[in-house]
């Protein structure tokens, strides 16, 4: 799958709650590998977690649902889900399908 494919959905997600220091990014990376989506996830200095998820719409929807749950130690208070552009996928290191990026 490539971000340029005709049937690819790309979403930008911001998650608020107890989502840092609880394995949230690792959870998102593992879920992305399971569901075959591209993108990245990172912590933000304001305490949120941000992710860009790209793939078939059904897989992206499953990923967003997983982000709403998070790992067992997390508490998701809110999730903002917006359309995104393929340019955001370029933030990943070259050759990585789904990456955990450094905190911004």
Residues 31-79: tens digit of each pLDDT: 999 999 999 999 999 999 999 999 999 999 999 999 999 999 999 999 9
DSSP 3-state of 79? strand
Question: Domains of the chain: which residue ranges?
Answer: 8-90
Q: Exposed, middle or buried, 16 (CB in 10 Å: 0-12/13-18/19+)? A: middle
**Do residues 18 and 54 make contact, with C-beta atoms less than 8 angstroms apart?**
no
According to CATH, the topology of domain 8-90 is: Alpha-Beta Plaits (3.30.70)
Side-chain half-sphere exposure of 7, counting CA atoms within 13 A: 5
Percent of the chain with pLDDT over 90: 92
Q: The dihedral of CA 43, 48, 49, 51: what is its sign?
A: negative
Quickly state the pLDDT bin for 7 (edges 50, 70, 90): confident
Residue 4 pLDDT > 50: no
pLDDT at residue number 98: 98
Active site residues: 25, 43
Alpha helices in the chain (DSSP H): 24-35, 57-69
Rounded mean pLDDT of the chain?
94
């Amino acid at each position: 799958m490539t971000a340029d494919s005709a049937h690819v959905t790309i979403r930008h997600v911001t998650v608020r709650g107890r989502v840092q220091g609880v394995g949230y990014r690792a959870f998102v990376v593992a879920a992305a590998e399971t569901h075959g989506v591209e993108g990245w996830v990172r912590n933000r200095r304001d305490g949120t977690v941000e992710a860009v998820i790209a793939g078939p719409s059904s897989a992206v929807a499953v990923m967003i649902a997983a982000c709403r749950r998070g790992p067992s130690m997390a508490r998701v208070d809110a999730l903002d889900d917006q359309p995104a552009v393929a340019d955001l996928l370029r933030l990943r290191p070259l050759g990585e399908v789904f990456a955990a990026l450094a905190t911004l």
